[in-house]
Amino acid sequence: MEAYANALLFAIPIFMLLVLAEIFYGHLKGKQTYTFMDTISSLSSGLTNIIKDSLGLVLILVSYPYLKSELSFLTIESSIWVYLIAFICVDFSSYWNHRLNHKINFFWNQHIIHHSSEEFNLACALRQSISNLLGYTAIFLIPAAFLGIPQEVINILAPLHLFGQFWYHTQHIGKLGFLEYIFVTPSQHRVHHAINPIYIDKNLSAIFCVWDRIFGTFQEELEEEPPVFGVLKPVKTWNPIIINFKHLWGLFLDAWRAKKWKDKFTLWLKPTGWRPEDVEKKYPSNIIKDVFKLKKYNTPSSKLLKFWALFQLVSTNIMLFIFLLNFSEFYTTQKWLFSFLILLCVFSYTALMDGYNWALKFQYLINISGILFFLFPANKEFYLILSPLLYYFSITYFLISFVIVLFLGREKNNFLANAV
- Distance between CA 45 and CA 43 in Å, rounded? 5
Per-residue pLDDT at 96: 98
* pLDDT at residue 307, as a whole number: 95
Tell me how long the chain is.
Answer: 420
Distances 391 to 92, 363, 385 between C-alpha atoms, Å: 44, 20, 10
109: left (phi over 0), alpha (psi -120 to 50) or beta: alpha
- Burial (CB < 10 A; 0-12, 13-18, 19+), residue 179, is exposed
- Give yes or no for residue 419 having a pLDDT over 50: no
Of 221, 225, 117, 123, the residue nearest 170 (C-alpha) = 123
- Give the whole-angstrom CA distance, residue 367 versus residue 209: 47
Mean pLDDT of all residues belonging to the chain: 92
The band of 68, judged by pLDDT with boundaries at 50, 70 and 90, is very high
Q: Domain spans of the chain?
A: 2-215, 303-411
Q: What is the pLDDT of residues 5-31, one digit of tens each?
A: 667 777 888 999 999 999 999 999 999
* Tens-digit pLDDT profile for residues 94-104: 999 999 999 99
Q: What is the mean pLDDT of residues 44-69?
A: 93
Give me the pLDDT at residue 268, please: 97
Tally of CB atoms within 10 A around 360: 18
Alpha-carbon distances, residue 100 vs 89, 248, 255 (angstroms):
17, 16, 21
186-210 pLDDT, tens digit each = 999 999 999 999 999 999 999 999 9
pLDDT score at 420:
40
Residue 93: band (very low, low, confident or very high) from pLDDT cuts 50, 70, 90: very high
Specify the pairing of strand 134-135 against strand 59-60. parallel
Query: Where residue 140 falls among pLDDT bands split at 50, 70, 90?
Result: very high
pLDDT at 417: 43
Q: Is the pLDDT of residue 131 over 90?
A: yes
Confidence band of 112 (pLDDT split at 50, 70, 90) = very high
Residue 416 in this model has a pLDDT that exceeds 70: no
Outline where DSSP puts E strands in 72-197.
134-135
How would residue 185 be classed by pLDDT, with cut points 50, 70 and 90? very high
Residues 338-392 pLDDT 10s: 899 999 999 999 999 999 989 999 999 999 999 988 888 777 888 888 788 888 9
For 8-41, letters b (16+ CB in 10 Å) and e give beebbeebbebbeebbeebeeeeeebbbebbbbb
Confidence category of residue 314, pLDDT binned at 50, 70, 90: very high
Indicate the SS3 state at residue 271. strand
Q: Answer for the pair 192, 199: CB distance below 8 angstroms, yes or no.
A: yes
* Cβ contact 310:22 at 8 Å: no
- Its pTM stands at 0.92
User: What integer pLDDT is reported at residue 272 of this predicted model?
Assistant: 96
DSSP letters for 211-235: HHHHHT------TTS---BS-SS--
Which pLDDT band, with edges at 50, 70 and 90, does 414 fall under?
Answer: low
Confidence check: pLDDT of 80 > 70? yes
244, pLDDT greater than 90? yes
∠ CA(226), CA(231), CA(236), 5° rounding? 120
Q: Are 32 and 184 spatial neighbours (Cβ–Cβ below 8 Å)? A: no
Q: Which amino acid, 253?
A: L
Q: How confident is the model at residue 2 (pLDDT cuts 50, 70, 90)?
A: low
Residue 181 burial (CB count, 10 A): 11
- Alpha carbons within 13 angstroms on the beta-carbon side of residue 353 total 30
% residues pLDDT > 70 (the chain): 96
Give the distance from CA 358 to its chain's centroid. Answer: 25
Question: Confidence class of residue 3 from pLDDT cuts 50, 70 and 90?
Answer: low
